[in-house]
Amino acid sequence: MAICIPPPDAVESTSSGEMRLYSALKAQLDDDYLVLHSVAWIAKPKGEGPRDGEVDFLICHPRHGLLVIEVKGGRIDLDYSTRRWTSTDRRDVVHEIHNPFDQARRGKYGILEKLKENPQWQKLVIGRFAIGHAIFVPDVGDGERLKGPDAPTEIIGDRTDLTALASWVEGAFQYWASQPGDNQRVNPIGTRGVETARKIFARVASTRPLLSVRLEDEERERVTLTERQAVILDYLSRQRRVMVAGGAGTGKTLIAREKAVRAAEEGLSTLLVCFNRGLADHLREQCAGIANLEVASFHQLCRRWIDKAKVDLGRDLIAEARRDYPGGNEYDHHQPIALALAIDLFGPHYDAIVVDEAQDFGDEFWMPIELLLSEHEKGLLYVFLDENQDIYGRSAAIPISGEPMLLDKNCRNTSHIHAAAYRYYKGAAIEAPAIAGVGVEMIPATGIDKQARAIASLVTRLVAEEKMKPHDIGILLCDAAVREASERALAATSIPGTAKWGRLEAYRPGSVTVDTVARFKGLERSIVILWGLDSCTPEKDRETLYVGMSRAKSLLFLCGDKVACERAVGTQQV
């Protein structure tokens, strides 16, 4: 039985003929064959802009090579004198169609182009190998009548071949292997070639587990992409501009990062940009060593281009922006304007841009983002957002029309944390995670000093007794105004020598992060202690509470006076 990706029973297709062929391929080919359905890609030949392609089927075999198949349903008619192709459906409606042989041929060369530009394929040093194309018309029994100068019968399959597909596929492979050439030897691609083709055209992404031994089972359930995430990644490979929305924990940043990595590995000059510097630094570390990929926060990006103009041209673009637009402020107005000026001076730079945390991008950010695309019409722009996390109160004019695609399953939190955080969520329904976990716990104490001592006692127990890693713990402050006072109170406490308090910039093994909810946006920890609740109300601080609680993957603690803790989880008695 052939290896099929995706499995035929998991495919939703409007073509019944395609599905009959797919099921027959799975049943009749042996497990040396890899059959990929609905393969899509974006390639960038040297010296040219990005271009996309798609084929109905790509069959891979270690000895025979690769075969592209284009499927056409209904009754097919053609006139070779006019090159007019038509398909007649079951209602006798005639449709103009493209020449399927041309489609299959273009798909074949697109596949070959994509393979040759991929570093993983280049490392195999296979040299010349067999790659062919064919068409299949599953609704007719006389497909041979479609033969022509560029369409030999050996590469035409019809309904009569559905019961002997192994023979037909081998015959199509043999036809292409036997074509006269320049006497170069045709090499098998081998099992490594088949596996590399699978990685290029049907990859599966996963995160790296970083939890302690106690929480490994939970993490194992989180690391695999949900079906919806996999579908969206596949959809993104076919579109040039897409907006994706979802609640906290639905995998937006994971998909954004994976999409940026894929684009870069496909040879596209790619920018992965977000709002929070802490998230940008985290993503940059995860993407270290990937060629063609730049990761930055929006304002880091501005500073790089502004500094380049200062060094290369002696231009102070911030000063120019302040002079021309005296009414704005530096972060929301002058830096974006200066970035746009820099792009005018140096030219656009990227083939693909992936934006995470788009809800925090101001209206002025989007013009330079678009200007950075090397080709406005052909460049790729993918935007990810959660309107519930707009704690900076921005109104972003995102340059993508239409409704966003929706990520609708929480795959970060436990169900208890989901219930607490999503009490503050407004929007389309988000499915709760399957991991139950334990309930949200309260650490009631009055005053910053007592609260700090209670937090230090909890951290000591988690690290010394429960063997949790300090860097898996985050203490997030709802109120930025009390950060310095809270840090002083914690500094006066005692915790195990293997742990120390530190802000987000100091994150490393052994560091317990102590920072504000706003600065922690986009990040997560296995354990979160949400502090500074005393002055928070669900009405005034809805977004802060939503973001802060949803940062916790496995354990969530709320620290404040008893009334504030109960108010945050909705258990306060009236």
Query: DSSP letter string over 316-380?
Result: -HHHHHHHH-TTS-IIIIIHHHHHHHHHHHH---BSEEEESSGGG--GGGHHHHHHTBSSTTTSE
pTM of this prediction?
0.66
Task: Classify strands 270-274 and 441-444 as parallel, antiparallel or unpaired.
Answer: unpaired
**Integer angstrom CA distances of residue 408 from 169, 249, 297, 430:** 40, 10, 26, 5
* Structural domains in the chain plus CATH codes: 3-199 (no CATH), 227-408 (3.40.50.300), 441-569 (3.40.50.300)
Specify the pLDDT at position 184.
63
Q: pLDDT (tens digit, 0 to 9) for every residue of the chain, 574 residues total?
A: 899 988 887 776 667 888 899 999 999 999 999 999 988 888 777 767 777 888 999 999 999 999 999 998 888 887 777 777 888 777 777 788 888 888 899 999 999 989 988 888 999 999 889 999 999 998 888 888 888 888 899 999 999 999 999 999 999 999 998 765 555 678 999 999 999 999 888 865 544 434 455 566 666 666 554 556 667 777 777 788 889 988 888 889 989 999 999 999 989 999 999 999 999 999 999 999 999 999 999 999 999 999 999 999 999 999 999 998 888 889 999 999 999 999 999 988 899 999 999 988 988 999 999 999 988 778 899 999 987 765 444 455 788 887 888 888 888 899 999 999 999 998 888 889 888 888 999 999 999 999 999 999 999 998 888 888 999 999 999 999 999 999 999 999 999 999 999 999 888 899 999 999 999 988 999 999 999 999 888 889 999 999 999 999 999 999 999 999 999 988 654 3
Specify the pLDDT at position 230.
65
Query: Residue 243 belongs to what H/E stretch?
Result: strand 241-246
User: How many contiguous H segments (helices) and E segments (strands) does the chain have?
Assistant: 18, 21
* Phi, psi dihedrals of residue 361, rounded to the nearest 5°: -85, 125
DSSP letters of 460-506?
HIIIIIS---GGGEEEEES-GGGHHHHHHHHHTS---TT-EEE-GGG
Per the DSSP assignment, residues forming a β-bridge with 409 are 431
Query: Residue 78 belongs to what H/E stretch?
Result: strand 75-79
Residue type, 265: E
Q: How many CB atoms lie within 10 A of CB 63?
A: 12
* Phi, psi dihedrals of residue 180, rounded to the nearest 5°: -65, 140
